């Protein structure tokens, strides 16, 4: 999926691209992509990336923002170097508690120097060995709309942390306060609220890890089975932010009974997991197949949306319709 906050840069030449690591570091660095390749171990990982607003279209009352249904998630194969290796080369000072991420995209207003987005993470997350500075996607150069030629990846957290057109990481001694880090951006109420409730942005808390979720990818909703056919092969993907999915169950009777699906382990941490199961419909009629994932902390997807003013973190169960004749 593609989600931009600003205007993509015109110059995305990998030969002239430079990445700066500065702020509270012992040895500030300026690195070319060739430097990254030559100085650090190159790794390839599948990384599930999801927008914090995925599923916003289903909120009632509506929440402002891109009206994503279920498509603001993907799991591409990325190649690059570990962020932690680069940070260790720069030497993280003890005062550093937060990162600040920057790219070369420009603000939609066109105002010089105004940043469209600059997010950051606590240093404990920044040092996770699964974070990556990527320069290839699915075995090829990164597509311009996916952040060419260099992209930061902070897996398991909302996609906005994974900065596109990445050219600078600053270590700070305070919580980063760049655009989309303050106000109500990427924040939730500190407690459950009724739909439509106005919440003071000062009370809202930053989203960190995404939560357990699944998506049925086959068959498409609205499937009409041939006359007399009763079996349906259901397939899909499941993921759980900083956690791992341990189980996926399906229901064909609105939750009265459940059928455990076959669940594959992730090929590496932070990749989504495939599930599949053949279900048998008992007779002709209209059916809904629902999927419910459970993570390694025992947390399951809910039936309904936990409403919040910005339309974030909708992990309610995905469902499709099937007609048996």
The ranges of the chain annotated as CATH 2.60.40.650 are 213-324
pLDDT digits (tens, 9 = 90+) for 168-221: 999 999 999 999 999 999 999 999 999 999 999 999 999 999 999 999 999 999
What residue spans of 65-160 are helical by DSSP H?
83-90, 123-126
Please classify residue 140 by burial: count the beta carbons closer than 10 Å to its beta carbon, then call 0-12 exposed, 13-18 middle and 19+ buried: exposed
pLDDT level of residue 12 (50, 70, 90 thresholds)? very high
Per-residue pLDDT, 93: 98
Per-residue pLDDT, 87: 98
pLDDT digits (tens, 9 = 90+) for 240-255: 999 999 999 999 999 9
Mean of pLDDT over the chain: 98
Taking the CB of residue 45, how many other CB atoms lie within 10 A of it?
A: 20
Per-residue pLDDT, 30: 98
Task: For Cα atoms 240, 211, 215, give the angle at the middle one, nearest 5 degrees.
Answer: 65
Per-residue pLDDT, 278: 98
pLDDT level of residue 103 (50, 70, 90 thresholds)? very high
Per-residue pLDDT, 154: 98
pLDDT digits (tens, 9 = 90+) for 110-152: 999 999 999 999 999 999 999 999 999 999 999 999 999 999 9
Share of the chain above pLDDT 70, in %: 100
pLDDT digits (tens, 9 = 90+) for 260-293: 999 999 999 999 999 999 999 999 999 999 999 9
C-alpha–C-alpha distance, residues 147 and 127, integer Å = 22
pLDDT digits (tens, 9 = 90+) for 17-41: 999 999 999 999 999 999 999 999 9
The CATH number of domain 213-324 is 2.60.40.650: yes
Per-residue pLDDT, 198: 96
Asked if 96 and 173 count as a contact pair (C-beta separation under 8 A), the reply is yes
The ranges of the chain annotated as CATH 3.90.420.10 are 18-182
Q: Domain spanning 18-182 has what CATH number? A: 3.90.420.10
Please classify residue 309 by burial: count the beta carbons closer than 10 Å to its beta carbon, then call 0-12 exposed, 13-18 middle and 19+ buried: buried
């Amino acid at each position: 999926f593609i989600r931009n906050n600003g205007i993509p840069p015109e110059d995305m030449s990998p030969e002239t691209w430079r990445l700066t690591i500065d702020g509270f570091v012992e040895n500030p660095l300026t690195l070319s992509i060739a430097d990254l390749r030559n100085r650090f171990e190159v790794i390839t990982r599948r990384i599930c990336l999801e927008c914090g607003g995925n599923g916003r279209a289903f909120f009632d009352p509506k929440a402002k923002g891109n009206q994503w249904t279920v498509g603001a998630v993907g799991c591409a194969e990325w190649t690059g170097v570990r962020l932690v290796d680069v940070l260790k080369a720069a030497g993280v000072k003890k005062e550093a508690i937060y990162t600040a991420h920057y790219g070369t995209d420009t603000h939609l207003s066109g105002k010089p120097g105004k940043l469209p987005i600059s997010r950051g993470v606590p240093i404990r997350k920044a040092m996770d060995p699964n974070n990556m500075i990527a320069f290839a996607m699915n075995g090829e150069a990164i597509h311009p709309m996916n952040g060419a030629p260099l992209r930061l990846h902070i897996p398991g957290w909302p996609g906005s942390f994974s900065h596109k057109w990445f050219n600078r990481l600053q270590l700070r001694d305070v919580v980063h306060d760049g655009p989309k880090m303050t106000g109500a951006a990427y924040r939730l109420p500190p407690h459950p609220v009724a739909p439509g409730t106005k919440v003071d942005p000062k009370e809202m808390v930053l989203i960190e890890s995404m939560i357990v979720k699944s998506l049925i990818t086959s068959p498409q909703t609205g499937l009409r089975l041939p006359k007399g056919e009763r079996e349906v092969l259901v397939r899909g993907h499941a993921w759980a932010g900083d956690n791992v999915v341990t189980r996926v169950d399906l229901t064909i009777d609105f939750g009265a009974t459940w059928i455990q699906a076959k669940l594959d382990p992730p090929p590496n941490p932070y990749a989504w997991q495939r599930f599949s199961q053949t279900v048998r419909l008992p007779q002709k009629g209209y059916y809904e197949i629902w999927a419910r994932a459970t993570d390694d902390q025992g947390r399951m997807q809910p039936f309904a949306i936990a409403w919040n003013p910005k339309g974030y973190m909708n992990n309610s169960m995905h469902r499709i319709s099937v007609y048996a004749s």
